[in-house]
Every structure is written in C-alpha cells, then in structure tokens.
Amino acid sequence: MFPSSAFVRRRLLVWGLLLVIALVVLTAQMRSPDGRRIGWIGTAIEAVLAPPAVVLSRVSGFFADAWSFITEIGTLRTENQRLTAEVARLREENARLRPDAQENARLRTLLGFKQQLPYRSLAARIVGRDPSQWFSTVLVDRGASEGVARDDPVITSDGIVGHVVETAGSWARVLLVSDSRSAVSAVVDRSREVGVVVGQGQTLLRITYLSRDADVQPGDVVVSSGLGPIYPRGLPVGTVVSVSHGTMFQDATLRPASDVGHLEDVLIVLRGGSLAR
C-alpha cells in the first residue's frame, strides 16, 4: 500500500525544515561573532576539505608552470631557429665578401708601396702559371703596349718576385726568383757581405759565393745590391734560414721575401722611367 500524498508532503516539509535548521547551525558555527572562530562543525569541514584543496592548488600550480615552461620552450625553439638561420646567412655573406676584402687589402698595400717607390711602376695581376713548373714562370696582364720591357723587375711590397723575360701587347712572362735560372746580386743587410742569390726550383733560395769568414747568421735579411743589370738597390730578397761552410766559400739558405707560390698581384718596375712616379 503506497503512502498518501499528504503524508509525502509532510515528510518533505519536515526534511526541508531540518535542512534549513542545519544550514542555520552550520552558518552560526562557521561565523562566530568575534570573526575568528569557526566552530567545531566548520573545523570538521575545513579538516575534510583543506587537504584536497591544497592538493588541487598544487596540481593546478604544477600544470600552470608546466604550460608556461612548454610555451617558453616553443618560443626559445622559434628564436633559436631564427638565430641559426641568421648565423648561416651571415656566414655565407662573410664567405662571399672575404675574397673581395682580401683583394682590396692587397691592392691598398700594393698602391701604398707603389707611391713610395722612386720608380715608375705598373700594378699587374697574375693570370697564368704552369702547374708543372710552379716556381718557374708566371703570366701577368700587362705588356709591351703599356711600356713593359724585357728585364723589368717584378716586385711586391714584401720584396723581389722576379723579372720579365718575354713581353707582348697585353701580357708578359715573368721568371720567378725561385727558378734555377734566376740570379740576383745581393748583400747581407747587417754585415754588408756580398753574394749571389740563386733559385733552386723550390720554396727556398740560396745565397752563394760568400767569403769563408763572412759574418752571416740565421735571421739576417738579404737585399739586392744594385750591382746587377736588373734589380735596383735595397729590394728585399729573403731571410737567412741556415748557413753552411765550405772549403773556400759559405752558402746560406734563404726564405724568399715574397711568397712566390701564392702570388696574385705584383708591381712591374719600368726601368726606363726611373725616378718618375
């Protein structure tokens, strides 16, 4: 037999009253007049709810920090990619500009040296070299049409390179000082000992016919003496590396003043224009 609707209404009314009373008591317990105590019911509720609230707060903070970290990683990754691309671009640009910068530096040095010479001279570029005879001859882009003649000295700001052995309208062939057919009348700058520098077909040169008791030491600078038919006086030829003593003469090995194996730009001294810039 089911309860009547009146009975149900009475039961609901009772439960509603009890709920209101519970809420009033709960409010009274949690909010005491002094504003500081919350009563035993509030304390119990706080004891039950506080730990989960702390856990939830920490979990929320962890996820917030993790999200911030992930976002920051994404930003840093994007910035790193941008910087990597920028570095690659700058390296490529630097590699492209380096040869031009080196060429400009060489030409400035050569021009400054040219202005100091008491001789008329022409700047020339090496345009050919025989790979099988690397230390023998080179071709330059200046020739007879510009006043270049046989036996004109060829130099750099470092010192002697060689001399012209053949010339045509717009080119000339230069015999390098390192060639075994080359000879330069020279003097040891410090002690004024006189000898002849000859090429050996390789990197190093040799100064010969030094007197047996000549004062020559490693590190001495050897310059042209001006006694020969080609080279003016005082042009650097090389630096003494070692000295060997013979029965009648001394020989010394020289490191060339000009790196003839890596030349790109030179000056041709026009002997017919001495003392004219």
Q: What six digits make up the tokens of 128?
A: 């050919």
88-92, 209-213, 245-249: which is most confident: 209-213
Phi, psi of 152 (to 5 degrees): -65, 130
Per-residue pLDDT tens for 81-120?
888 888 877 777 777 766 666 666 666 776 666 666 778 8
HEC-encoded secondary structure of 21-47 = HHHHHHHHHHCCCCCCCCHHHHHHHHH
Per-residue pLDDT tens for 161-176?
999 999 999 999 999 9
Q: How far apart are CA 161 and CA 204, in angstroms?
A: 13
Instruction: Please give the pLDDT value at position 72.
Output: 78
Domains and CATH numbers, the chain: 120-274 (2.40.10.340)
Per-residue pLDDT tens for 123-155?
899 999 877 777 789 999 999 999 999 999 999
Q: How far apart are CA 271 and CA 113, in angstroms?
A: 17
Displacement of CA 71 from its chain's centroid (Å): 36
Residue 209 has pLDDT above 50, yes or no: yes
Q: What is the DSSP letter of 231?
A: P
Q: How far apart are CA 22 and CA 15, in angstroms?
A: 10
Q: How far apart are CA 196 and CA 161, in angstroms?
A: 16
